[in-house]
């Protein structure tokens, strides 16, 4: 069992030192500091966020996506052919993003996240998971004025995300996480989704996991047989995900999202331990990534840290019970 996060991490904490990223972005927006200065603080905060994940006892970390405003625009700002437009709500959260619109042919601009991965890997001796938003979710949360339909748009994006994944593969990432939350909210697109995933993974050899959240992946026949090594599921936003464990493939890994990353209420050690027991009745512990239900960016930093600590305690209690 590896304890990890699902990706993003709160970017700021209380107090002046905790808010240096917020301050430097403000000053950058006003033109008071250079892009290099902004990048320097982003690196500094990334290093701190990784250290914090190490200190609480995670066994695999991410760069916290400190540089990402959201899952969509970090990539859409870089992919050629996209423009950003008005604010849209991200699913049913109280967070917003600028909707990307494809206005011309889309082109991969060269590695977008390789430098970020390399920096993060240099900050820690723990394995660092790389994260990309999947092509279907990217298409679904964006709009295209260039493509005739969603299918053509998403398949184009699959080519672009595959090139990025190949670049990360060349860098030797131990695990690549592809985020596709939109599919659990739009099950009517299941047929298209399978095509897009096939295109995305064509020729890829990097170890990869497919993550969803804010819903369950039931009624998507064959979801856990898609061409990935593992599947991350949100058991808080989608309790029906427990049904998928009954015939979870023997060779697949499970991202077990059982800690609510959208509410500050702290889960009990007992709940975590019991839920782990329930999951390991179907999936052996060595195939489980234990993680929150989704990214931690919806929580204040102090609560996020407390929740991760509790997750580690829950895993400890579970291990004590089974051994």
Q: Cα-Cα-Cα-Cα dihedral of 149, 103, 81, 85, to 10°? A: -110
CA distance 5 to 12: 17
Measuring CA to CA, which residue among 197, 212, 210, 205 is closest to residue 174?
205
Is the CB of 14 or the CB of 243 nearer to other proteins? 14
Cβ closest to other proteins, residue 94 vs residue 323? 94
Minimum CB–partner distance for residue 322 and other proteins (Å): 30
Nearest one of 252, 255, 257 to 288, comparing CA atoms: 255
Rounded to whole angstroms, how far apart are CA atoms 231 and 223? Answer: 9
> Which lies closer to other proteins via its Cβ, residue 300 or residue 316?
300
Edge-to-edge strand list for the sheet holding 143-144: 80-89, 96-107, 143-144
What's the Cα-to-Cα distance from 75 to each of 142, 163, 189, 267, 277, rounded to whole Å?
A: 12, 13, 23, 34, 38
Nearer to other proteins by Cβ, of 26 and 34: the residue is 26
Binding site for other proteins (CB under 8 A): 10-14, 19, 22, 25-26, 29, 69, 86-87, 89, 92, 94-97, 263-265, 297-303
Q: How far is the CB of 25 from other proteins (least distance, A)?
A: 4
- From the CB of 13, what's the least distance to other proteins, in Å? 8
CB 24 within 8 A of CB 33: yes
Nearer to other proteins, 69 or 163 (CB): 69
Least Cβ distance, residue 89 to other proteins (angstroms): 7
Between 8 and 201, name the residue whose CB sits nearer to other proteins.
8
Of 316, 317, 241, 236, nearest to 283 by C-alpha is: 241
Q: State in angstroms the smallest separation of the CB of 237 from other proteins.
A: 12
What the block records as the tokens of 250 is 């023997």
Comparing CB distances to other proteins, the nearer of 94 and 125 is 94
Closest to other proteins by CB, 127 or 300: 300
Residues in the chain: 323
φ, ψ for residue 63, nearest 5 deg: -75, 5
What separation in angstroms does the CA of 10 have from each of 72, 118, 159, 271?
17, 21, 31, 24
For the bound state, the minimum distance from the C-beta of residue 300 to other proteins, rounded and expressed in Å, comes to 3
* Shortest reach from residue 262's CB to other proteins, in Å: 8
Structural tokens at position 78: 């870089």
What is residue 237's DSSP assignment? T
Neighbours of 277 (CB within 10 A): 12
* Least distance from other proteins to the Cβ atom of residue 60, Å: 24
């Amino acid at each position: 069992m590896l304890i990890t996060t699902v990706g993003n991490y709160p970017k700021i904490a209380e107090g002046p030192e905790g808010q240096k990223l917020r301050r430097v972005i403000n000053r950058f927006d006003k033109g008071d500091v250079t892009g290099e200065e902004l990048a320097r603080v982003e690196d500094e905060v990334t290093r701190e966020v990784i250290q914090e994940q190490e200190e609480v006892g995670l066994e695999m970390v991410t760069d916290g996506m400190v540089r990402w405003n959201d899952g969509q625009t970090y990539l859409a700002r870089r992919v050629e052919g996209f423009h950003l437009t008005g604010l849209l709500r991200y699913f049913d959260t109280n967070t917003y993003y600028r909707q990307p619109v494809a206005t011309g042919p889309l082109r991969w601009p060269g590695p977008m996240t390789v430098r970020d991965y390399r920096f993060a890997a240099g900050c820690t001796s723990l394995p660092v998971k790389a994260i990309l938003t999947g092509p279907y979710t990217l298409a679904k949360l964006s709009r295209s004025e260039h493509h005739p339909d969603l299918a053509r748009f998403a398949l184009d994006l699959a080519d672009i995300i595959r090139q990025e994944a190949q670049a990360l593969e060349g860098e030797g990432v131990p695990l690549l996480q592809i985020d596709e939350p939109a599919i659990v909210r739009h099950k009517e697109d299941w047929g298209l989704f399978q095509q897009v995933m096939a295109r995305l993974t064509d020729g890829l050899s990097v170890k990869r996991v497919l993550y969803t959240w804010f819903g369950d992946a039931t009624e998507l026949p064959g979801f856990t047989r898609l061409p990935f090594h593992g599947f991350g599921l949100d058991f808080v936003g989608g309790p029906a995900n427990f049904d998928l464990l009954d015939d979870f493939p023997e060779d697949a890994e499970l991202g077990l999202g059982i800690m609510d990353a959208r509410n500050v209420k702290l889960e009990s050690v007992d709940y975590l331990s019991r839920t782990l027991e329930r999951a390991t009745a179907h999936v052996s512990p060595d195939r489980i990534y234990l993680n929150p239900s989704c990214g931690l960016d919806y929580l204040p930093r102090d609560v996020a840290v407390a929740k991760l600590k509790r997750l580690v305690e829950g895993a400890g209690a579970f291990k004590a019970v089974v051994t």
